[in-house]
Structure formats: structure tokens, C-alpha cells
């Protein structure tokens, strides 16, 4: 039973994290600052400064809205950038429940 509860919590955390990443700032009427707005990056030239800006946005939004998540790493799949897609893998942990997981996203 405890294993099922942990899996459910893991799925809820992952879904909330994904929602934060994919939401555009201004989309949530009651909290217009919520969201990373990653899709905006698709209209920029992919460069190290673009990736750095995306990383910083993800880290600051996560710290503000989902503070139990500690981001371990954020990696970009640059092979998709020529097709106006952005591949992101984020490895994170939630120390309070002993969880380490990752989230793979392709934004496009």
C-alpha cells in the first residue's frame, strides 16, 4: 500500500512540475506570474545564452511554486532545435519523500 501511495505522490509532483514548465506567464488569471513560458524560447535563436535563460527561469519558478523540488540537472537535446522543437530533460529530487526522478519534455 505504501508503495502505491508513493507512486501516486510521484505522479502528482511530476504532473504539477510539467504544468509549471508548460504554462505561459499570464495564463493563470489568479496568478499571472505562474509559468516558465518555455514555448517563447522556440522563437529565439538557440544559443548558450538562450539555454542559460531557460535554466534560470525553470530554477526560479520551481523554487517559488514547488519548493520541495530540488533540480539536479537540466539538459537540452540540441538535435531537435533545427525543427523548432526544444527537448529538455530535467533530473530532480524531492528529499522529503526520498524521491529522485526525471522529466523529459519536447516543446514545439
Q: Which CA distances in Å does 101 have to 34, 39, 55?
A: 23, 23, 18
| Residue from 76, 27, 68 nearest 50 by CA | 76
Using DSSP, state whether 101 is helix, strand or coil: strand
Using DSSP, state whether 69 is helix, strand or coil: coil
Would the CA dihedral through 87, 36, 66, 68 be positive or negative?
positive
Give the pLDDT of residue 7: 79
- Of 4-18, 19-33, 61-75, the range with the lowest mean pLDDT is 4-18
Mean pLDDT of the chain: 87
Give the pLDDT of residue 97: 85
List all residues 6 or more positions away from 104 whose beta carbon is below 8 Å from its beta carbon. 87, 88, 89
Tell me the mean pLDDT in the region 64-72: 96
Tell me the mean pLDDT in the region 87-98: 91
Amino acid at each position: 500500500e505504501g508503495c502505491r501511495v508513493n507512486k501516486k505522490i510521484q505522479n502528482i509532483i511530476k504532473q504539477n512540475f510539467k504544468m509549471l514548465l508548460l504554462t505561459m506567464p499570464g495564463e493563470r488569471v489568479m496568478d499571472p506570474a505562474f509559468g516558465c513560458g518555455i514555448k517563447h524560447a522556440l522563437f529565439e535563436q538557440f544559443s548558450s545564452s538562450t539555454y542559460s535563460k531557460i535554466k534560470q527561469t525553470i530554477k526560479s519558478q520551481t523554487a517559488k511554486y514547488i519548493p520541495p523540488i530540488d533540480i539536479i540537472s537540466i539538459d537540452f537535446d540540441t538535435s531537435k532545435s533545427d525543427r523548432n522543437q526544444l527537448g529538455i530533460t530535467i533530473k530532480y529530487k524531492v528529499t522529503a519523500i526520498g524521491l529522485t526522478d526525471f522529466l523529459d519534455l519536447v516543446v514545439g
